[in-house]
Structure 1
């Protein structure tokens, strides 16, 4: 699900453009179907439990629908974010659902308490239940992203991300995690979570890979039903879920983990057989277990957006697989369907979407959809089917019985019993990849140095989707009942008579017997984690090598959301542990496995094994170093193959240049306007909008529109480039700018802004033209991106942007 900072993507209407596949083909399915149209016979059969559609509930729904006005019916299929709506708005706009996105908290406070969350939910629900002069009052449904525990609330139990849980290979543990998570969500008054993620990531470059349990569909299938059953509890006909249970969401349907180059919101260019065999694996078990909701994916299948693909949403999911609950959209994702805008998209509803996730576009969407319904453009049967599915969920959650909501047991949040489950999950998720010599386990009485950027960093160990969307500003104060890795290790070492010292840079005053270096990826979420390669380029290696040079055994604890190429770091270490993103209980959970007690044995041995293969190199499609299922223990030391110690991609140098935008934003490039992320360079922010249009292929170019002073930033990791390198853009300007247009570099080597106004005036009315600016004109060294700014209204069209190694001329006076 998207978050408040992430801009919606709006596809422009194109004459003759279809909203996507509308029916399953009646002809026999081909042996290898590479079209975006699903064939029923190729999909497995499943069915939601009859307890969701019992006769009494269906009769009650019939009666409600008969009383609803058309405005209420339209309102039921729209969901708004708390950052863009107030409870009082529901008196005029009878919406069916409210969500809190990744950066949305009560009253704008990301660190609001559980009591504040409970109060907010009750405020929305109270207004939604006020008597109406027409129609019937229907309570809102409130959803939240609780994807590794109730990660939105300080002091809640935060579990390892799914990449770590996959390494436990323990469905029973997954069930207990689901029960704990449900109790804490319900404890804050909320009744719906957007979890579990059933993606089967096939490319580690994907920024959401850590949200998947495994690249193995069998593991995902084994986990999906356990998580659903324990989030929701038993389904009984005519009775609501228990008050410590919540509605689950199987997401994102479908193949978000199978996109080309691992690009977030990208295109899965695969056969239907692969779509079903790999990426659909978790859905039939989840449906059979009774998941009340399914979330459609932002991504596409062979060029067709899932939000507009009727053959998938209606015929495969609701038809062949018998799903009777509601299908919810992702953050304004309906706006990416060709011919749609976030504020107007009947195609998605007709394709099978039941509930639009329209966080900030809800008002325009409501008004436009109501107009279409009044004009007879929205099929009545489809609208009422969507409402029926939404009401089924509300009945199952006990929202329709007229009784006071019994959720809101604040005392369960972060309870000792819950924290113990998280600690167990951390310990079971650790994978021992190397253990040579006697570095592990840490012996009783040892002098231990704990160092590295992740040693005492709650944000690094928790990852994205923690308190906020990206999770970058999490601190120890957010989880006073948690422990950083340093805190857990130091306590365990001292408990058995040892000494522990913390050092950020690896320095020490007393030589240690062993050093534990904690390093890895810094937090990210969604597209901001997309990578162009698998090379780990963060801090850690220099510290490991410096300690080894002094004769100190080194244990590396690697924090990451995916396997990465760490050949140099692993080669220099005596022991190497994949710890993933272990969450708030990392300190004690890791200590239980790494630090021996007075009897010389640890509380737990390593039991985790890889649920993703580990790459031997940094390049996409690299050979496998450790296969899925690999992992050692103290009784079975792992055997490490020969390690590559250099990246074949020249250590990140891009001396030959690189594409920034070419038919889409390239992997490893991020676009922003202000604080708003522009996925694939589409979206809007104050004073700026980027939209897609066609030149040679569908939506292969961008129209950049300024209505007020604003900037567009294109960011990438720092790159060493030739001094002769240039930024080359192919642009079209229909009308010369009236205000100043500037270009400047990003990074600490940047110079001041360069005036592009004369250049833009020069190419006015001449169609697509190349302009080329030497990077030496805007920077004295490596750059981390560029910023294009306009001081006023201006529009230009963009076909490509690239960094080229050799400028045609090195003059900085312009025009260019």
Structure 2
């Protein structure tokens, strides 16, 4: 699919100072030569930043003194960041890790309902173990990092702000700084030192599952917000920098995560280097200039090279040219995706400039041991280790980690009244008000008089979890109910409070039924929560294949009941039919815990006057078609349904027609075949098929695997099943893949195979997908005889759907299994978009 990029260039004089680019050329790096980038090009494109936090001789002296007394083992331990589910306090005492994290949906004691006191206890225990030198000889304090991306979102009762896409519509950097300040305060109540925020992705393709983590398609908003968030989290460099009320910030993910081809999470960004800076690096200009102390490397590739292993970007650009002197932390085992690496071994990432491995799971110990061995062998230079550890120590010294009290004894620690404090929620409520964007308002139906009979319906009406989206208590934001949000309010509750106070009538209905015919219906609906790649989709059609919300809207409209649509989403979506069926339509995005902020705006005062104006403007262009996925301001062929910056004010006439086209291109003609023997697809096997294979040979009873040559080197795979128990081999991705477009295009699974040892029993072809996926296609007859020649087997994807597979969320389209003996070679495994011939196996 064509990837379009905006041709926008921003100068620093608007708010952030950048020094002259005319410095003396330095030696060109190997990676720069690989990318065919000359030193003059590097200096012409990437600026030297005038960073507000300057080098300090006293700090550097302390860093070097500490470093001089450290063993190699202590140094490498500073570079290892395990997850709280995978280490104990005793592990911390033994190894002295420089940091640790809780991933999304990870809690002390693995209890979702852990109290702030539980968080403080774990922070205190880990800290005390890290400075206990009885085993490892180290007294360097550890630091705890957390994903507080829209408030302290892992802690029940915390203030949850609108997700970034909504904040972008507010375009208010001062408010953003205040939000970050509050987030830092609530994080510090639980004894945590470090926040993995802000996300500064500039989203180019709204199919990306992390679109809502981006503030805007406009790099200007992202740059300004990045500076504001960093100042709010860390404090200003010239007054309260990393003081007792502040935490370490992380500008992420470096760089280009919002610009991957097709919006593929962890995919490939093919922007030119100038576009990489002009569009995707502006958040780093903003955040690093004001002094962010850490940067998180991105999962994505740039022109096929994974960023975790890209020395040109991490070292030549970020550290040497832009002047960043903090540390670079990896993302969730992102180093394991670098060519030639595994989760437990990746010298390439260290040599490229990664300073801290984020290594959840059981891989931290072999990674620690392998890294030590690689330094001893010379594969990693000691100078690179010393540089990494110096950066980690520098940030710790600047943040006062060596001099501050332990986590349980810090100024905010244990002040539970600050978690979800009234004044914090007031700011979140303001943010909700400013984030709302009015797309349609026929006859100026909004704001609604609270003295009417109002029906509130839709699956998002009384659902704080849905309105908060992903990264909310759990990683995906799923599995929550309103009881998990003490102090919060649903959109319905906010409306009900206003109506009740004004003497009107209100009824909540789950199915749009009512006791008394209402004067107006408010329908609250939208996307279900998701995070990261689980939200990737292949087009922007809302409720594709299941128009349950549209049915509600149309039912009410058919009864001549005026309809106000409040649309919850993490991205702009193709909702032409829903717009047609609504008299008013408001994009409420993902407002977080303060649903009453929506009522503040959509409800009038009792006398009918405006309570709060509606001021939000689209920070993302709104598509006119489901396949208009890369529509960004500045594109040469820019033609959205609603442009960047659009947003009606109360009293303005609607501009949208009431008969928008409800016919959308399927996009089938734009789909290309999916080669499942290349990234992001990974072979896996074992009893449940989830043990991924990263080497050319592997074995896990009853299955063995190795790469073989068919036409070119390692273009085929040989899988042997020993029998005696069920063995599975599959090709999968970390996240579910949306195959609906391929199914709609009558797509097929196609692969070549050669039977080296005939099956002695039943062989099944299946799939692994979201939910209860029971795909089971008997292919025994294809594998019951040895075949010296390669053959091709094709299977209609319709067979998957016919057996109940959710084609929008397929983790593994190719799974082969047997409990008996079989040896088969496979090659050319593909999902074919528009096949030229009928499938070998088809379904009615």
Q: Same fold (TM over 0.5)?
A: yes
Q: Corresponding residue for 1:617?
A: 625
Q: Quick check: 1:645 aligned with 2:631?
A: no
**Could you state the TM-score of these two structures normalised by the residue count of structure 2?**
0.84
Q: Corresponding residue for 2:830?
A: 801
In the TM superposition, what is the alpha-carbon distance from 1:96 to its structure 2 partner? 1.4
**Could you state the TM-score of these two structures normalised by the residue count of structure 1?**
0.87
Assess if the C-alpha contact under 8 Å between 1:202 and 1:257 holds in 2. Answer: yes
Q: Corresponding residue for 1:228?
A: 230
Deviations 1:525-565 (A, max 9, x none): 11111111111125311111110111000001111111111
Q: Corresponding residue for 1:553?
A: 562
CA distance in 2, matches of 1:201, 1:626: 17
Q: Corresponding residue for 1:7?
A: none
CA distance in 1, matches of 2:254, 2:781: 48
Structure 2 CA distance for partners of 1:378 and 1:453, relative to 1, 3 Å = same
Deviations 1:564-603 (A, max 9, x none): 11111111211000000111102x1000001111221232
Structure 2 CA distance for partners of 1:741 and 1:243, relative to 1, 3 Å = farther
CA distance in 2, matches of 1:347, 1:26: 15
CA distance in 2, matches of 1:85, 1:499: 55
Q: Corresponding residue for 2:648?
A: 632
CA distance in 1, matches of 2:526, 2:375: 52
**Partner residue of 1:600 out of 603, 608, 628:** 608
Moved more, 40-49 or 366-375: 40-49
Assess if the C-alpha contact under 8 Å between 1:249 and 1:291 holds in 2. Answer: yes
Moved more, 629-638 or 555-564: 629-638
Moved more, 686-695 or 277-286: 686-695
Q: Corresponding residue for 2:579?
A: 570
CA distance in 2, matches of 1:398, 1:558: 45
Q: Corresponding residue for 1:338?
A: 339
Of structures 1 and 2, the one scoring higher in RCO (CA 8 A, sep 6+) is 1
In the TM superposition, what is the alpha-carbon distance from 1:124 to its structure 2 partner? 1.3
Q: Corresponding residue for 1:380?
A: 382
Q: Quick check: 1:289 aligned with 2:318?
A: no
CA distance in 2, matches of 1:326, 1:722: 47
In the TM superposition, what is the alpha-carbon distance from 1:677 to its structure 2 partner? 11
Q: Corresponding residue for 1:271?
A: 272
Q: Quick check: 1:484 aligned with 2:484?
A: no
Structure 2 CA distance for partners of 1:446 and 1:392, relative to 1, 3 Å = same
Q: Quick check: 1:590 aligned with 2:598?
A: yes
CA distance in 2, matches of 1:744, 1:301: 34
CA distance in 2, matches of 1:127, 1:359: 19
Structure 2 CA distance for partners of 1:49 and 1:743, relative to 1, 3 Å = same
In the TM superposition, what is the alpha-carbon distance from 1:368 to its structure 2 partner? 0.5
Deviations 1:740-795 (A, max 9, x none): 6423467999877334455345467756x422345677774764256735356988
Assess if the C-alpha contact under 8 Å between 1:48 and 1:324 holds in 2. Answer: no
Assess if the C-alpha contact under 8 Å between 1:655 and 1:721 holds in 2. Answer: no
**Partner residue of 2:464 out of 432, 450, 458:** 458
Assess if the C-alpha contact under 8 Å between 2:758 and 2:784 holds in 1. Answer: yes
Assess if the C-alpha contact under 8 Å between 1:726 and 1:807 holds in 2. Answer: no
Deviations 1:190-238 (A, max 9, x none): 111110000000111111111000000011011111100110113469x
User: What aligned pairs does 1:678-757 form with structure 2 within 5 A after superposition?
Assistant: 709=727, 712=730, 716=738, 727-731=749-753, 741-744=763-766, 753-757=776-780
Structure 2 CA distance for partners of 1:495 and 1:775, relative to 1, 3 Å = same
CA distance in 1, matches of 2:295, 2:405: 27
CA distance in 2, matches of 1:550, 1:369: 69
**Partner residue of 2:432 out of 426, 434, 437:** 426
Q: Corresponding residue for 1:759?
A: 782
Q: Corresponding residue for 1:790?
A: 817
Aligned residues: 780
Assess if the C-alpha contact under 8 Å between 1:24 and 1:40 holds in 2. Answer: no
Q: Corresponding residue for 1:14?
A: none
Structure 2 CA distance for partners of 1:724 and 1:582, relative to 1, 3 Å = closer
Unaligned runs of 5+ in 2: 1-27, 632-638, 808-812
Q: Corresponding residue for 1:15?
A: none
**Partner residue of 1:59 out of 61, 67, 81:** 61
Tell me, what secondary structure is at the counterpart of 1:392? helix
Structure 2 CA distance for partners of 1:255 and 1:693, relative to 1, 3 Å = farther
Assess if the C-alpha contact under 8 Å between 2:750 and 2:794 holds in 1. Answer: yes
Assess if the C-alpha contact under 8 Å between 2:95 and 2:136 holds in 1. Answer: no
Assess if the C-alpha contact under 8 Å between 1:725 and 1:807 holds in 2. Answer: no
CA distance in 2, matches of 1:649, 1:264: 23
CA distance in 1, matches of 2:179, 2:618: 20
CA distance in 1, matches of 2:580, 2:482: 32
Structure 2 CA distance for partners of 1:374 and 1:305, relative to 1, 3 Å = same
Q: Corresponding residue for 2:539?
A: 533
**Partner residue of 2:522 out of 510, 516, 530:** 516
CA distance in 1, matches of 2:712, 2:274: 27
In the TM superposition, what is the alpha-carbon distance from 1:44 to its structure 2 partner? 1.8
Deviations 1:379-416 (A, max 9, x none): 11111110011111222332212743315233211000
Q: Corresponding residue for 1:359?
A: 360
Q: Quick check: 1:579 aligned with 2:585?
A: no
Assess if the C-alpha contact under 8 Å between 1:81 and 1:100 holds in 2. Answer: yes
In the TM superposition, what is the alpha-carbon distance from 1:122 to its structure 2 partner? 1.4
Tell me, what secondary structure is at the counterpart of 2:443? coil
Q: Corresponding residue for 2:6?
A: none
In the TM superposition, what is the alpha-carbon distance from 1:245 to its structure 2 partner? 1.2
CA distance in 1, matches of 2:279, 2:486: 40
